[in-house]
Amino acid sequence: MRKRVQRSHRLLSVIMTIVCVVYMYPIFMVLMNSLKVENAISTSTAFELPTAETFAGLANYENAVNTQGFFMSLFWTVLITVTSVLAILIFCSMFAWYITRVENKFTKALYLLCAFSMVVPFQMVMFTLSSTAHDLHLNTPWTLWIIYLGFGAGLAVFMFCGFMRSVPIDMEEAAMIDGCNPIQTYFYIVFPLLRPTMISVAVLEAMWIWNDYLLPTLILDVDKYKTISMLIQFFRGSYGRVEMGPMMACIMLAIIPIIIVYLFGQKHIIKGVVSGAVKG
């Protein structure tokens, strides 16, 4: 019996390994093509390995970095993601604490509105949101976090509220009796308890903001600021023949930082996804 189980496990391992290799193939294909010269990349030869004649070395990568401004896009994307996630973590957790601890009709309405905003599709507000952002001069990467704080508040508040309902109120009361004001109570008592939820929220919001395409495209000035997603779309949107080589290199450059972050923070990312799902 045990032997049979072992054998079936080994077979399963082999099958899973094959499936995983197939699963990773699309990324490998992009890597392969990003190393080819321009006229060797066509729809019928995308599966062929680069040969001596078609091997381009890192020329496509140089092109992507030097003439297409990849690093500038990387900078804007990092800036927008970091500022937005930090703002969401700090402000939304404070907001969530207030609306769970103060119970009245107003806070209940706010909670429901936040839950509602999670379901509403972006297309519903895209036109009016971008015109509001232009009117208030929020259309630079330095101020885009305000928009993300507003539009991303739903999920964060929802998750923070879910966690805070399970935290006993006693400790906070004790702190208040000992003379803490609400701000001290929040930052000394509640804030440290929130760490696991903070990580989950940060993971989910960062995954969304980093990869978001439509919101920054509609709000930012496309000629001045391009996030990574916008840059890759720009290859296609521009007139004339699409330069496939640099585009492949850009796709590869866009994937590499994600893979590095993923390999280091895998545990947190997977935990974040699971707890986000349980509370949703």
Binding to another protein (CB under 8 A) within 201-220 occurs at 207, 210-214
CB of 140 to another protein, least distance (A): 15
Q: Interface residues for another protein in 34-73 (CB under 8 A)?
A: 43-47
CB of 262 to another protein, least distance (A): 6
Instruction: Please select the residue that binds another protein; options are 95, 158, 163, 225, rule is CB under 8 A.
Output: 95
CB of 55 to another protein, least distance (A): 18
Q: Which is nearer to another protein, 72 or 233 (CB)?
A: 233
Task: Map residue 120 onto helix, strand or coil.
Answer: coil
Retrieve residue 133's tokens.
Answer: 């952002």
When asked if residue 140 is in the footprint of another protein (CB under 8 A), the reply is: no
Instruction: Please select the residue that binds another protein; options are 69, 78, 82, 132, rule is CB under 8 A.
Output: 132
Instruction: Please select the residue that binds another protein; options are 119, 165, 166, 239, rule is CB under 8 A.
Output: 119
Beta bridge partners of 43: none
H helix intervals, the chain = 2-34, 59-66, 70-87, 93-101, 105-119, 122-135, 144-164, 170-177, 182-185, 191-193, 195-211, 214-219, 228-237, 244-279
When asked if residue 147 is in the footprint of another protein (CB under 8 A), the reply is: yes
Q: Which is nearer to another protein, 54 or 132 (CB)?
A: 132
Q: Which is nearer to another protein, 1 or 124 (CB)?
A: 124
When asked if residue 78 is in the footprint of another protein (CB under 8 A), the reply is: no
* Residue labelled with tokens 């604490």: 97
Do the Cβ atoms of 205 and 155 come closer than 8 Å? yes
Backbone dihedral angles phi then psi of residue 168, each to the nearest 5 degrees:
-65, 145
Q: Is the dihedral of CA 169, 170, 175, 176 positive or negative?
A: positive
Which x/- pattern over 226-265 shows residues binding another protein (rule: CB under 8 A)? Answer: --xx--xx--x-------x--xx--x--xx--xx-xxx--
Instruction: Please select the residue that binds another protein; options are 50, 69, 91, 111, rule is CB under 8 A.
Output: 91
Alpha-carbon distances, residue 164 vs 13, 100, 224, 239 (angstroms): 42, 7, 42, 52
When asked if residue 2 is in the footprint of another protein (CB under 8 A), the reply is: no
Q: Give the single-character DSSP code of 89.
A: I
Instruction: Please select the residue that binds another protein; options are 2, 3, 26, 105, rule is CB under 8 A.
Output: 26
Burial class for 41, CB neighbours closer than 10 Å (0-12, 13-18, 19+): buried
Residues 6+ apart with CB under 8 A from 241: none
Q: Which is nearer to another protein, 63 or 229 (CB)?
A: 229
Do the Cβ atoms of 207 and 279 come closer than 8 Å? no
CB of 46 to another protein, least distance (A): 4
Beta bridge partners of 36: 55
Instruction: Please select the residue that binds another protein; options are 92, 198, 201, 220, rule is CB under 8 A.
Output: 92
Q: Which is nearer to another protein, 56 or 114 (CB)?
A: 114
Distance separating alpha carbons of residues 80 and 77, to the nearest angstrom = 5
